[in-house]
Amino acid sequence: MTTNVVIQGASRGIGLQFCRHLIQKGTNVIACCRAPSQAEDLQKLKSEYENQVDIVKLDVTSESDIQEAAKYVSKCHGGKLDLLINSSGILHPSGRGETSLKDVSFKGLEDTLRVNTLGPLMMAKYFGPLLMAGGGTIGKKSSDPRKAHAGILVNMSARVASIGDNRLGGWYSYRVSKTALNMVTRNLSIELGRGRKKVICVALHPGTVDTSLSRPYHKNVPAGQLFSVEQSVSYLMGIIDGLSSAETGRYYGWDGKEIPF
């Protein structure tokens, strides 16, 4: 049976590495990004694995793009989805998180929320039915048919989203957007968990990863704590592969430990 995965935010960073990782496992990867012609690394991957990669244009802040992409996936990829990863994200439109209130603006907050929170929610609206029709090939298999799951929805969160763990302050737009994304994830786990086969919905923190998002802050990261994308994605796939419907609605770090909301 074909395993269908949508990676949203696949042009670079962690999203691109999810594509690489899943292709190696023989998965059919539908890689969504907002500017396919500029996504050189993704295009290179497609040229190497022509039959396993389909690149679809999708700006996560555009409802019509999301709707069109979902219709396309439904029509051209068998109407079912085993895994959706919302990986796109921005720290702030300026590339740096706010350090104090004087840096906070409506524009910065709104733009960050649109990419990090509202986009993933709209993805669930249109891709939810495909996830409900999928499942079984990713995640932990249950011998009890009453506990069988449908597809899995992963929202890329961040540890700084944790209210309980917030001791430093700052980064208003990013923290607010990811905390709200965690609420979105928990809400989705309830609504998409009502069917006979439940869609598993989780929020994951990838660690501090060597990508352009975190680049301005690399010098502050203690030695050994800056992960490569390969490291981070292999940890995250370990968590995803072990998920069952009992874990839906939870928020995990890269090490598989739950993070307090």
Ligand X SMILES: NC(=O)c1ccc[n+]([C@@H]2O[C@H](COP(=O)([O-])OP(=O)(O)OC[C@H]3O[C@@H](n4cnc5c(N)ncnc54)[C@H](OP(=O)(O)O)[C@@H]3O)[C@@H](O)[C@H]2O)c1
Note the residues at the interface with ligand X (CB under 6 A): 9, 11-15, 33-35, 59-61, 87-90, 115, 156, 158, 205-206, 208-209, 211-214
Give residue 21's identity as a one-letter amino acid code. H
Phi, psi of 195 (to 5 degrees): -75, 175
Cβ of residue 247: shortest distance to ligand X, in angstroms? 19
Give CA–CA dist 187/170, Å, rounded.
26
**Two structure tokens written together for 33:** 């990004």
Cβ of residue 164: shortest distance to ligand X, in angstroms? 17
Q: In the complex with ligand X, which residue's Cβ is closer, 79 or 255?
A: 255
Give CA–CA dist 10/87, Å, rounded.
7
Q: In the complex with ligand X, which residue's Cβ is closer, 59 or 247?
A: 59
Q: In the complex with ligand X, which residue's Cβ is closer, 132 or 233?
A: 233
Q: Token pair 């975190």 is at which residue?
A: 214
Cβ of residue 213: shortest distance to ligand X, in angstroms? 3
Q: What number of other Cβ atoms are within 10 A of residue 157's Cβ?
A: 28
Cβ of residue 14: shortest distance to ligand X, in angstroms? 4
**Two structure tokens written together for 1:** 């049976």
Q: In the complex with ligand X, which residue's Cβ is closer, 17 or 52?
A: 17
Task: Please name the helix (run of DSSP H) or strand (run of DSSP E) that holds residue 227, with its range, or none.
Answer: strand 226-227
